[in-house]
Amino acid sequence: MNKIFDHSNVMYVKNVPRKGRGVFANTPFTAGDLIERAPTWGFDSAEVALLDRTGLFEYYFVRHDRQLKNDSMAGYVIFGFISVVNHSSMPNAKIFWSDEDSGAWATLVAAKDIKAGDEITHRYTNISSYPHYIKFIE
């Protein structure tokens, strides 16, 4: 089994049948633990129209907190393992956003206890935007 570890060896990526890549805990996490913090690149609605026609569509994130503030950023690419964490309707992790002088950051935090070997999942906020042919598997 091919596993690619993050720099701290607390999580790894491996292929999940019928789902593609997934992120797994290499060490246990307790609810509230920080799993990863990663920088992002934001883009506006004009760029969304271009990105939605590419494979990157499945990897960018929508921040509803920014949309409520009428922010021009329509989506974000996250530069970290967070970008390949799979969706679950009953996730064990949650993404929190922060805006710093260095740009927007995404932080993945354990929403409940996660055992070593468990897949790390979060809830996609823009799941209704996905094409009908993409089926999410729990």
| Residue 137 belongs to a domain | no
| Residue 127 belongs to a domain | no
Predicted confidence (pLDDT) at residue 109 exceeds the cutoff of 90: yes
CB 92 within 8 A of CB 110: yes
Percent of the chain topping pLDDT 90: 40
Q: How many domains, the chain?
A: 1
pLDDT at 79: 92
Residue 112: give its domain's CATH number. 2.170.270.10
Predicted confidence (pLDDT) at residue 133 exceeds the cutoff of 60: no
pLDDT at 117: 96
Distance CA 41, CA 36 (A): 16
Structural domain harbouring 79: 4-122
pLDDT at 4: 77
| Residue 110 belongs to a domain | yes
| Residue 138 belongs to a domain | no
| Residue 103 belongs to a domain | yes
Q: Which of 130, 128, 110, 129 is nearest to 120 (CA)?
A: 110
Give the global pTM: 0.81
CB 110 within 8 A of CB 35: yes
Confidence of residue 125 (pLDDT cuts 50, 70, 90): low
* pLDDT tens for each residue of 4-57: 777 788 999 999 887 788 999 999 999 999 999 999 988 887 887 887 777 676
Distance CA 111, CA 137 (A): 20
